[in-house]
């Protein structure tokens, strides 16, 4: 038997009585550390497995719109070439077909204006589609960021709760040990 003294309290008996609670406390702390590490690894795995959404559909839409714009530009070029040819041939007969020529020019101008209107509308549609795509992408990024923040907050609050629980249990254990020690010291038969 040996005698251990801690803060003025003498305890007779095996040193094992002091070593067991210390080992229990260390074991609990190690368990909490390993559990926290396991959760961290699981969170990191989920983050690494995140796959960005497929945006190939938007790329296809843009390609179709670009093809339409090129087609419209080709149509306008073709129509302008036709007008030039009409004007060239009309110069020879300018005096005789002056009224007809003015009528043809006005029709071509109306066609060009119509093509121009369609081109502007198509340009506005492309821009609106690009803005919508950008808005959708930003929304998806914000949503993913919010989900990540909420998961991180949940992990942090769970870790804090576990720390508080361990602290409470350690305080209760310390109080219980003090009471047991005091009862042992107060026992009149303890000195015999």
Q: What is the pLDDT of residue 31?
A: 94
Between helices 16-48 and 98-186, what is the axis angle to 10°?
A: 170
Tens of pLDDT, residues 31-66: 999 999 999 999 999 888 877 777 777 778 888 888
Q: Report the SS3 class of residue 83.
A: helix
Q: Give the predicted TM-score (pTM) of the model.
A: 0.30
**Does 35 reside within a domain?**
no
Domain containing 128: what range? 55-164
Residue 94 has pLDDT above 80, yes or no: no
**Does 30 reside within a domain?**
no
**Does 191 reside within a domain?**
no
Residue partners of 21: CB distance under 8 A and separation at least 6: 173, 177
Q: What mean pLDDT do residues 164-189 have?
A: 89
Q: What is the pLDDT of residue 2?
A: 63
Residue 173 has pLDDT above 70, yes or no: yes
**Does 120 reside within a domain?**
yes
**Does 189 reside within a domain?**
no
What is the token pair recorded at 85? 């040819």
Residue 80 has pLDDT above 70, yes or no: yes
Residue partners of 13: CB distance under 8 A and separation at least 6: 1, 2, 4
Q: What is the pLDDT of residue 184?
A: 81
Residue partners of 57: CB distance under 8 A and separation at least 6: none
53 touches 140 (CB < 8 A): yes
Residue 1 has pLDDT above 60, yes or no: no
**Does 21 reside within a domain?**
no
Count other C-beta atoms under 10 Å from residue 191's C-beta: 7
Q: What is the pLDDT of residue 91?
A: 66
Tens of pLDDT, residues 108-117: 899 899 999 9
Domain count, the chain: 1
Q: What is the pLDDT of residue 170?
A: 93
**Does 114 reside within a domain?**
yes
Residue partners of 18: CB distance under 8 A and separation at least 6: 4, 6, 11
Q: What percent of the chain has pLDDT over 70?
A: 85
Most confident segment among 11-25, 100-114, 145-159: 145-159
Q: What does the CA dihedral 112, 115, 119, 121 come to, rounded to 10 degrees?
A: 120
69 touches 123 (CB < 8 A): yes
**Does 124 reside within a domain?**
yes
User: Mean pLDDT of all residues in the chain?
Assistant: 84
How many angstroms separate the CA atoms of 152 and 46, rounded? Answer: 12
């Amino acid at each position: 038997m040996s005698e251990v003294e801690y803060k003025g309290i003498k305890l007779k008996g095996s040193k094992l009585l002091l070593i067991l609670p210390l080992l229990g406390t260390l074991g609990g702390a190690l368990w909490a550390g390993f559990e926290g590490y396991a959760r961290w690894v699981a969170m990191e795995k989920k983050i690494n497995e995140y796959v960005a959404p497929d945006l190939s559909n938007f790329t296809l839409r843009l390609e179709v719109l670009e093809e339409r714009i090129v087609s419209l530009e080709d149509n306008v070029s073709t129509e302008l070439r036709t007008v030039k040819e009409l004007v060239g041939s009309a110069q020879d007969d300018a005096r005789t077909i002056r009224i007809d020529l003015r009528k043809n020019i006005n029709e071509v101008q109306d066609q060009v204006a119509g093509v121009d209107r369609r081109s502007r509308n198509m340009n506005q549609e492309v821009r609106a589609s690009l803005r919508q795509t950008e808005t959708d992408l930003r929304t998806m990024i914000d949503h993913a960021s919010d989900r990540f923040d909420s998961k991180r907050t949940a992990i942090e609050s769970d870790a804090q709760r576990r720390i508080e629980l361990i602290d409470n249990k350690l305080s209760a254990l310390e109080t219980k040990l003090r009471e047991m020690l005091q009862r042992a010291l107060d026992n009149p038969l303890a000195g015999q």
